[in-house]
Structure 1
Amino acid sequence: MDCRHIVFYGTLQLECDKFRELELDRHLVFVSDCFFRGDLFDIEDMRTGHNYPAMVDGAGTVKGQLFHIREPSFLHAADLYEGIRPGDAPAQSDYRREILRLTRPEIDAWVYIYNQSVADCLKIDGGDWLTHIAEKNCGTRKQG
C-alpha cells in the first residue's frame, strides 16, 4: 500500500537525540503532533539499561509526531532500525509496521506496533513518551 506518512511516538521524535544522530530530517518532513488509539508501555532493555517505548493495540490514546516520507525507500531503513529483518517471521521481530488511521489528524500513517508481551512492563498513563521521560528524569534528580 502506498502510504507516505509515518508516526514516531518515542525515541525518534524531533526532540530526541536519535532524530539528529540518524539525520532523519533528510528523509522526513514534520507535519504535526498526532494522536492514535493504543496503549504505550515503558520497556527496559536489560542488555543496555536503556528504556524505550512500546505501543500495543489498546483502548487508550498515544501521542506521537506525524511525518511525511520523502522517499518510500526510507521505510526499509526504518524497519532495520526497529529490528524488522527481511525474511524473518513476524513473531521474531520486536515490532511490526502497520498502517493505522490516526484520530487526530484523521489520516492513515505507518506505525510501529510492539510484537512482544508487555505483561511485566510499566504502562505510560496519558500515552506520551516525552512527558513520561521528562517526569521520570525530574523525579530522579537530587534536591539541592
Structure 2
Amino acid sequence: MNKLTSLLPQHRKAAGFAPPGFIEMLLLAYIVAAVLNFALGNWIFATAMLAPLVGLFFWIQYIDRQDRCRIGDQIRVSLGPHSGIEGVVVGSNEAGTRLTVQLSSTGHPEPMKFFVYQVRKVKPSPPGRDVELSPPLF
C-alpha cells in the first residue's frame, strides 16, 4: 500500500482512547452504584466509593480557579493570527469567557478581545530579579 494514500473511513481506528461518552457512562454507573449502596444501607461502602469523586471534583474546581485569568495578569496569545504575542489583561466580560487584552506589540495600540481558550497565563519573574543565564559547569 502506498504511504500517500489513506485508508477508507470504515477501516480507520481510534488512537486508543475511549470515546468521551463511554467514559461518562462508566462514571455515571459508578455513581449510581454508590447511591444504590447508600440506599440499601451499606453507607460505609458507599462513602468509600463517593469520597474520591468528591475529592476529585473539588481538586478540579481549585485548579480551574487558579488557572483563570484575572485583570492585570500577563498572558500570551496561543491561538489565532496573533499567536505568540504577549500582553496584559485589562478587562473581561461578566461570564469570564472573553478577555480584553492590551497587547505589548506596537502594531496593536488599542485593546483587543480574545476568548479565554485563546490565551495562556505567563508566569512573571519575581520583581527585582532579572533573568540571568548561569555559567556553564564544564
> Shorter-chain-normalised TM-score: which range?
under 0.3
Higher fraction of helix: 2
TM-score, length of structure 1 as denominator length:
0.19
Higher fraction of strand: 1
TM-score, length of structure 2 as denominator length:
0.19
Higher relative contact order (CA 8 A, sep 6+): 1
| Structure with greater Cα Rg | 2
